A and B are shown apart, each in its own frame.
Chain A
C-alpha cells in the first residue's frame, strides 16, 4: 500500500516538473522559427490576446513634487476611455533609479516601455522614434521642436522619442522672512543685476543674524554650470570638445565654491557629506534653515506644497558674473523606449498625454514651466493661490529669455552628464583637501576624456 502511494507521488513529482518545464519553454518556437524581430512582433501581437486583450505598459517615473499623482490621474482617465491599455507607473528614486539603474536596464534590453528621464543625450540611443506610429508628427515638431534636439543620438537627427514633461531653468530661491528678521535688504529688490559675491555677502549677514545657513547649491554639475557660464566659463574648445584646463571663468566659479565651503557660507553637508551622487539641498530650505538656495524651477511645486505660506519664499533672478546672468535650461522628458513590444500603444498614450488640454492640465497642476511651445505662448493657468508660487513661476518664466547661448549648447551636448559628474565629484575633493583646484581641474579633464572615449 505504502509502496503504491510512493509510486503515485513519484509520478506526481515528475508531472509537476514536466509541467513547469513546458511553461518556461512555450515561447521558444517563435524565437527559433522567425528570428529575433519576428519573435518580438509575434509576442507583441499575441500578448493582448493572452492577457485578455489588455496591453500592459510600464512607465518608469520619478517625482519632484506632485507630478506622479497628477500623471496617474490623467492615465486613469485614459485607461477608462481605452480599456485595451493599462499603464503601470513604477515610481523610483531619481538618483538611484533614474540616473543609475535605468541606464543599465536599458542597456540590458530590460527597460520599461516609457521612462521619465533627464539625461536626454546619453539615454537617446535607447529611445524609440515614434514618427511611424504618430497620427500627426507635424504637431510634435511644431510644439516640441527645439527640445527634440536634446533627445537625438546624432545632432542632425529628427527623431520624435517623447515630450518634455517640464522645461526647467536653474535659479536661486531666497527665504525673505529671514532677510526681514535680520533687517538685511534683499539685493534683487534694488538691482536687476546682483553679482554672486553680493548675494553671498547678503546671505552671510542674514545667516549670522538668524543662526541659519547662508547658501546651498544642489550637488550637481548642472547646477554649477549656470553660475560658471556667468563667470565667463567657456567649457568647450574651438572644435566643440570639452576643455576645462585653462578655462578661467570655470576656475573662477570653482574657486568661489571652494572659498564658500572653506568659510562656512555653503552648507557643507550637501557637497562634502554626499559622495558619489546627486544631492538636493531642498530639505534645508523647506525647514527654514537656509537663506539662499540655488536649485531651479522644478522646486516651485515642491515648495508650494511643503512650505506653502509657512514663511515668505520666492525665486530671484540668476545672479551675475562678468560674462552673463544666466542659469541653465533643462528638464525632464517622458520618452518611449526602443525595447518596447507595444510601440503603437505607447504612441497612443503619448498622443493622449501631449494633447493640448491634457498637457495644459498637467502643467497647471504640477506648476511646471511648459515644454510645449503652443502652451507656453498661450500661457498656462497655474493652479496655485500662493503669491510666492506665482511670483516664483513668473521669475523663472522670465529667466528663460535670459539664458546664455552657451547654456543651451551645454544642455544639448550629448555627453554633458559625463562633464557635469566630473565637475561635481572632483570639486568635492578640493573641498575636503584631497586635491588642489588645479589638480582637480586636470582630473576633471582626464575623467571627461576617458568617459567620452568609453562612450563612443
Chain B
C-alpha cells in the first residue's frame, strides 16, 4: 500500500477590486511620470545644485505666465504707441504718444462731449459709477448675508446654496435670463400689466438700465463673496464673543469690536477682487443692453472691444492705449486698497 502524496490545498486566486485596479493604474501613470521627471531633474540638480532647484520647478509656470500674460501685456503697451489698422506689429507705424494725446484731448475732462474720444470718457465715468455702487452694494449685501447665514438659522444650508447658485451660471446665461424678464414683452412687464400697471421700458430708460445692470451684477456675483466672508466669519474664535457677552457687549458692539476688525483681511480680499471684476465688466452688460440706451451702459472694456474689433477700422492702437490707462487705474486702486489694509493691520 503506497501512501498517496499529500497535496497542499490550492489557494484561491487573489481578488482585486475594480477600484483598486483603477487606483493602481493611476498610481503607475503617476509613478511613471515622476520617473521621467526624475531623469530630467537629477542631471539638472547635479548641474545647478539643490538650492537652485526651486527655480527649475517654477520654470513651467513662469513660462506659461510669460507667454500668456507678460508677453501680451508688453505687446499691448507697444501697440498703444502704434497707429493704422494692421494687425501684425511689424506692419504698424510707430506714432509715439498720439493715441494717448487723442484719448486725453478734452476741453473739459468732466464733460465727455468735449473730448475727442468721448465714448472712452463716457465709458470711464459709467465704469466709475458702476464700481462704486456695484461693489458697495454687493459687499454690504454679501456681508449681511454671511452674518445671517453664519448663525444657526433654520434651512441654513438651503439658503447658502440659493445665494451661491447664480455664481455657477455663465454671465451670458444670466444676461439672457434677465433680458427675457425685463424686455418690453418680458415676464416683469406681463406681471405689471396683469395687475393694472403701466408697462415699463427698462432698457430704453438710462436710469432703469443702469439700475438693472448693477442689480443683476450684484445678484449674480454676491454668492461668491458671501462664501469668502462666511469662511472668514467661521475662523473667528467663538470664545471671543462669549467673553464680550460676559462683559455685557451687545450684538452691535460685538460686531464692531470683534467681527469687523478680525474680518478685515478677508474683507480686503473681497474688495480687491470685486473692484477688479467690476472694472472689467463687459460680457453680461453687452448681452443685456449692448451698452444702451445711447451710451448709458457703455463701460470702458466695451469701448476697448468696439474700438479694436467691432468698428470697421479696428483701431488697435487706440484700444491698447485705453486698456493701458484702465490697467493703470486698476493698479492704483489695488495699491490703495492694499495700503489701507496694511494700515488697518498696524492700527
Residue of B nearest to A107 (CB): B87
CB-defined contacts of A108 to chain B, threshold 8 Å: 87
A-contact bits for B50-61, CB 8 A (1 contact / 0 none)? 000000000000
Q: Which of A9, A99, A446 has the most CB of B within 10 A?
A: A9
Contacting residues of chain A (238-294) with chain B, CB-CB under 8 angstroms: 268-269, 272-277
Say whether B314 faces chain A, with CB atoms less than 8 Å apart.
yes
Contact status B313-A443, CB under 8 Å = no
Say whether A455 faces chain B, with CB atoms less than 8 Å apart.
yes
Chain B residues at the A interface, C-beta cutoff of 8 Å: 28-29, 31-36, 39, 83-87, 102, 113, 116, 118, 122, 184, 201, 203-204, 206, 289-298, 302, 306, 309-315
Say whether A122 faces chain B, with CB atoms less than 8 Å apart.
yes
Contact status B204-A269, CB under 8 Å = yes
Instruction: Compute how far the CA of A53 lies from the CA of B63 in the bound complex, rounded to whole angstroms.
Output: 41
Contact status A9-B31, CB under 8 Å = yes
Say whether A211 faces chain B, with CB atoms less than 8 Å apart.
no
Residue of A nearest to B296 (CB): A432
Contact status B312-A432, CB under 8 Å = no
Which among A10-18, A75-83, A326-334, A344-352 touches the partner chain?
A10-18
Contact status B206-A275, CB under 8 Å = no
B-contact bits for A421-454, CB 8 A (1 contact / 0 none)? 1000000110111110001000100100011101
Count CB-based A-B contacts (< 8 Å): 122
CB-defined contacts of A6 to chain B, threshold 8 Å: 28, 31-32, 34-35
Residue of B nearest to A456 (CB): B84
CB-defined contacts of A269 to chain B, threshold 8 Å: 184, 201, 203-204
Say whether A418 faces chain B, with CB atoms less than 8 Å apart.
yes
Contact status A272-B293, CB under 8 Å = yes
Say whether A341 faces chain B, with CB atoms less than 8 Å apart.
no
Instruction: Compute how far the CA of A454 lies from the CA of B122 in the bound complex, rounded to whole angstroms.
Output: 22
Instruction: Compute how far the CA of A193 lies from the CA of B94 in the bound complex, rounded to whole angstroms.
Output: 54
Query: 9 more A-B contacts (CB under 8 A) besides A434-B122, A450-B102?
Result: A5-B28, A99-B312, A273-B204, A274-B290, A274-B292, A275-B295, A429-B294, A454-B83, A455-B313
Instruction: Compute how far the CA of A266 lies from the CA of B217 in the bound complex, rounded to whole angstroms.
Output: 31
CB-defined contacts of A451 to chain B, threshold 8 Å: 311-313
CB-defined contacts of A454 to chain B, threshold 8 Å: 83-85, 313-315
Say whether A195 faces chain B, with CB atoms less than 8 Å apart.
no
**8 Å CB contact of A434 from B184, B294, B302:** B294
Say whether A197 faces chain B, with CB atoms less than 8 Å apart.
no
Contact status A275-B35, CB under 8 Å = no
**8 Å CB contact of B32 from A10, A276, A452:** A10
A120 nearest CB across to chain B (Å)? 12
